[in-house]
Amino acid sequence: MSKVHVLPADVISKIAAGEVVERPASVVKELLENSLDAGAKRIELHLKEGGKSLVHIKDDGSGIARDDLDALFTRHATSKVAAASDLEAILSLGFRGEALYSVGSVAEVALRSRAQGSAEAWEIAVKGGEKARPVPATMPSHGTDIRVGEIFFNTPARKKFLKSDAAEFEQILNVVIPYALLYPERAFLVTHNGRTVLDLGVAASPAGRAAEALGLESRHIIAPKPIEDSVCQLRMLLGDINIQRPRRDLQYLFINGRPVQSRNLSFHLNEVYKLIFPPAVHPFFAVMLTVPAGDVDVNVHPTKREVRLRDESRLAGFLRRVVEQALMSGTSAREVTADRPEAFSLTSAAPGAADGRAEGVPAAKLVFAPNQRSVVPVFIASDESVRPAVVNDLTTLATPSEQLTAPFITETSVTLKDRLATARLVGTFVRKYHLFESGESLFVVDQHAAQERILFEKFRRQIHAGKVEVQHLLTPLVMNVTPQEMLSWENSGERLSSFGFEVEQFGPAALALRAHPAVMPNPQQALRVLLAEGELTRIDVDVLASRACRASVMAGDKMDAAQAAHQLQALLACDDPYTCPHGRPVFIELKSSFLDRQFLRT
Ligand SMILES: Nc1ncnc2c1ncn2[C@@H]1O[C@H](COP(=O)(O)OP(=O)(O)OP(=O)(O)O)[C@@H](O)[C@H]1O
Ligand SMILES: [Mg+2]
């Protein structure tokens, strides 16, 4: 007897359905994508028991015509793809014609729809793959209404593996929220067991939507101008230094309008934030990338979560650079005029926030902004790291568990500069921090961050003036290089010389450094960092300058008192003395009144 036989149709359908429908969240994903594909402007999602007993979706999209109902819930029935060539350039979220069929084979479904331009509505019921005949129904306007109940009633093994209602509901939110971020111009309502959980009206801006959907302050979200060129389009929302998460739970990546996961791209994005973040905290970002349809393959897995990209490492490099640049220009400190008295907070102003800047202008920052809602910013020490945070009431933090260490600047930066100018060096702590005293305050200056800022401004000024001061070396410094570094040098000679680096080839695998920018204490290290970038002419000059400076001050140099005092004066001469080029704070202020409180003297 032969062992090989073709499976019966009902077994085939359950296997296929199993790949698409893993849990209630998968049903939500498929139905939501259909509603979005249908151009719905408002989507309502009503759930019961984590979606296990009911997923009910209502949209005001184009609807489904009576003639199309008979084909619905049949495998490979789709309106979105007709020929194999269409797969090369998929513009809709759906394309396989599998979702409804799969949902219909593992659940009980009632679908009602009224097509745009039609006066009639129809309803069709399906249970475990068995379709009933469509019957007339009534609907006030066009759109589609689908109820999915009894998920996995005929696959008990799968039903057993479902998690608690709360866990399943969380998964559903994880599906809905990325789409809410992607479509700020559409409204979303989500209820669970009759309770409204998300009610997002049409948002004024992508940042506004993200703030509302994720419970963030929109002034902490940087929305750089979208980048559009022939190869790709990029829109981004980037949390600033004030949004620090213990988990990577607010990180969203979209490729060609589809939420995707990519360990590689997400690794690189997190790396950029390490320039400004303390260890063990993670940023918020939503990165929406559009590349030519031919460069991305979404047809890897039925759930379409994974995508394959052509030239992924080049793309990662590009992303790194633009995010770094956006953070740099988006988080530089801003001075405010002295006419607003007292209480200025270290916080971030979102584009279009209270200060009236236009939306999309990449000027969101770490600023000394007027404190309008009695928000007192503080730095809180946790373990090794110093974490800036904004709290509403200073007293709420004065508990032992919270270890409050330093209220931040509460005055205009003009008088702040004056006070710092006359500050007296008290000493240096762990070779990293200079302590200055001025009046009733102790200023703790991060020596490296300060040095980075000073170098960067000096170097940048010289580069932009086309007059980089060069230090010639009597004996060239010879560096062994990798083939990639050699290639990068070959492609970047011009940019390197405009930066003041004179480099020659020295044998097949070495370069000789003959001259370097005079401001750089550690030029070899800086050169190494630049060569790691590949083709330097493609990268923004300020980004390169900041990286070179950062690399150049890495060493934990010891400074004597005169050097420390000199550093402070050089810092105060900077345009932007309060943060490092990437936006990390350069110093914090500890007021004596604060210490008094810690010692219970008041
Ligand atoms: N909410 C809706 N509004 C309008 N048309 C819909 C809706 N849901 C489904 N459809 C129609 O039903 C068809 C089948 O949907 P289904 O989700 O099964 O397949 P698909 O979206 O084409 O592809 P995929 O399986 O990749 O999702 C769609 O192509 C679309 O024409
Ligand atoms: Mg679909």
pLDDT tens readout for residues 440-455: 889 999 998 999 999 9
User: What pLDDT sits at residue 1?
Assistant: 64
User: What pLDDT sits at residue 71?
Assistant: 86
Residues 6+ apart with CB under 8 A from 206: 181, 184, 223, 235, 237, 286
Residue 233 DSSP SS3 = strand
Burial of residue 158, with CB atoms counted within 10 A of its CB: 0-12 exposed, 13-18 middle, 19 or more buried: middle
Of the pLDDT bands very low, low, confident and very high (cuts 50, 70, 90), residue 350 is: very low
Query: Does residue 387 register a pLDDT over 70?
Result: no
- Give the Cα separation of 595 and 168 in Å (integer): 48
User: What pLDDT sits at residue 25?
Assistant: 95
- Give the Cα separation of 414 and 356 in Å (integer): 22
Residues 166-190 have a mean pLDDT of 94
- Of 144, 172, 200, the position where a domain reaches its end is 200
- Triad 243, 249, 255: Cα angle to 5°: 100
Does one domain contain both 430 and 571?
A: yes
Does one domain contain both 59 and 194?
A: yes
In this structure, is the dihedral angle defined by the CA atoms of residues 339, 343, 344 and 348, taken in order, positive or negative? Answer: negative
Instruction: Find out whether the beta carbon of 80 lies less than 6 Å from any atom of ligand 1.
Output: yes
Residue 278 belongs to some domain of the structure: yes
User: What pLDDT sits at residue 289?
Assistant: 93
Indicate which CATH number applies to the domain containing 43: 3.30.565.10
Instruction: Find out whether the beta carbon of 100 lies less than 6 Å from any atom of ligand 1.
Output: yes
Which ligand gives the minimal distance to the CA of 303? 1
Does one domain contain both 296 and 178?
A: no
Does one domain contain both 120 and 240?
A: no
Query: Does residue 311 register a pLDDT over 50?
Result: yes
User: What pLDDT sits at residue 219?
Assistant: 87
Burial of residue 394, with CB atoms counted within 10 A of its CB: 0-12 exposed, 13-18 middle, 19 or more buried: middle
Polymer length in residues for the chain: 602
What is the atom index within ligand 1 of the atom nearest the CA of 103?
18
Does one domain contain both 485 and 541?
A: yes
User: What pLDDT sits at residue 395?
Assistant: 35
| Residue 326 and residue 231 in contact, taking contact as beta carbons nearer than 8 Å | no
Q: For ligand 1, atom 24, which residue shows the shortest CA distance?
A: 94
The rounded mean pLDDT for the chain is 80
36-40, 480-484, 521-525, 527-531: which has the minimum mean pLDDT?
Answer: 480-484
Query: Does residue 340 register a pLDDT over 80?
Result: no
Query: Does residue 346 register a pLDDT over 50?
Result: no
List, in sequence order, every residue forming a beta bridge with 45; answer none if it has no partner: 57, 190
The distance in angstroms from the start CA to the end CA of the chain is 93
Of the pLDDT bands very low, low, confident and very high (cuts 50, 70, 90), residue 303 is: low
Does one domain contain both 164 and 227?
A: no
Among 494, 478, 472, 587, CA closest to 544:
494
Residue 1 belongs to some domain of the structure: no
Domain count, the chain: 4
Residue 178 belongs to some domain of the structure: yes
What single letter denotes the amino acid at residue 232? C
- Give the Cα separation of 216 and 181 in Å (integer): 13
Query: Does residue 382 register a pLDDT over 70?
Result: no
Residue 116 belongs to some domain of the structure: yes
Instruction: Tell me the pLDDT tens digit for each residue of 388-440.
Output: 333 333 333 333 333 333 334 444 555 778 888 889 999 989 888 999 999 88
- Of 142, 167, 200, the position where a domain reaches its end is 200
Does one domain contain both 38 and 155?
A: yes
- Give the Cα separation of 490 and 496 in Å (integer): 10
Of the pLDDT bands very low, low, confident and very high (cuts 50, 70, 90), residue 337 is: very low
Residues 6+ apart with CB under 8 A from 437: 423, 424, 426, 443
What is the atom index within ligand 1 of the atom nearest the CA of 101?
18
- Of 200, 231, 264, the position where a domain reaches its end is 200
| pTM for the model | 0.69
Does one domain contain both 311 and 216?
A: yes
Does one domain contain both 32 and 164?
A: yes
| Residue 82 and residue 13 in contact, taking contact as beta carbons nearer than 8 Å | no
- Dist. CA 310 → ligand 1 center (Å): 28
Does one domain contain both 323 and 373?
A: no
Query: Does residue 177 register a pLDDT over 90?
Result: yes
Half-sphere exposure of 77 (CA within 13 A, CB side): 14
CA dist 350 → 234, 355, 570 (Å): 19, 9, 30
- Dist. CA 303 → ligand 1 center (Å): 14
CB atoms within 10 A of CB 195: 8
- Dist. CA 243 → ligand 1 center (Å): 38
CA dist 485 → 170, 300, 478, 495 (Å): 46, 35, 14, 15
Residues 6+ apart with CB under 8 A from 179: 32, 33, 36, 188, 259
Residues 105-119 have a mean pLDDT of 95
- Give the Cα separation of 451 and 261 in Å (integer): 38
Which ligand gives the minimal distance to the CA of 298? 1
Indicate which CATH number applies to the domain containing 503: 3.30.1370.100
Instruction: Find out whether the beta carbon of 44 lies less than 6 Å from any atom of ligand 1.
Output: no
Of the pLDDT bands very low, low, confident and very high (cuts 50, 70, 90), residue 261 is: confident
Query: Does residue 83 register a pLDDT over 90?
Result: no
What single letter denotes the amino acid at residue 545? A
Per-position b or e across 576-596, b if 16+ CB within 10 A of its CB: bbbbbbbbbbbbbbbbeebee
Query: Does residue 502 register a pLDDT over 80?
Result: yes
Tokens of 219: 């002034």
Residue 126 DSSP SS3 = strand
Find where tokens 């590009």 sit. Answer: 318
List, in sequence order, every residue forming a beta bridge with 480; answer none if it has no partner: 510
The residue to mutate among 41, 45, 100, 103, having the most atoms of ligand 1 within 8 angstroms of its beta carbon, is: 100
Residue 338 belongs to some domain of the structure: no
Does one domain contain both 116 and 190?
A: yes
Does one domain contain both 593 and 473?
A: no
DSSP codes joined into one string, 474-494: EEEEEEE--HHHHHHHHHHHH
Residues 31-53 have a mean pLDDT of 97
206-220, 284-298, 302-316: which has the minimum mean pLDDT?
Answer: 302-316
- Give the Cα separation of 432 and 554 in Å (integer): 11
| Residue 251 and residue 377 in contact, taking contact as beta carbons nearer than 8 Å | no
Residue 392 belongs to some domain of the structure: yes
Residue 336 belongs to some domain of the structure: no
Residue 4 belongs to some domain of the structure: no
Indicate which CATH number applies to the domain containing 580: 3.30.1540.20
Residue 129 DSSP SS3 = coil
In this structure, is the dihedral angle defined by the CA atoms of residues 454, 244, 366 and 593, taken in order, positive or negative? Answer: negative
Full residue range of the structural domain in which residue 237 is found = 206-330
Q: E strands, 106-194, where?
A: 108-114, 121-127, 130-131, 135-137, 143-149, 187-192
- Dist. CA 40 → ligand 1 center (Å): 13
- Dist. CA 100 → ligand 1 center (Å): 7
Which ligand gives the minimal distance to the CA of 98? 1
Instruction: Tell me the pLDDT tens digit for each residue of 131-155.
Output: 999 999 999 999 999 999 989 988 8
- Dist. CA 475 → ligand 2 center (Å): 68
Instruction: Tell me the pLDDT tens digit for each residue of 221-258.
Output: 999 999 987 778 999 999 988 888 878 889 999 998 88
Indicate which CATH number applies to the domain containing 286: 3.30.230.10
Residues 308-324 have a mean pLDDT of 86
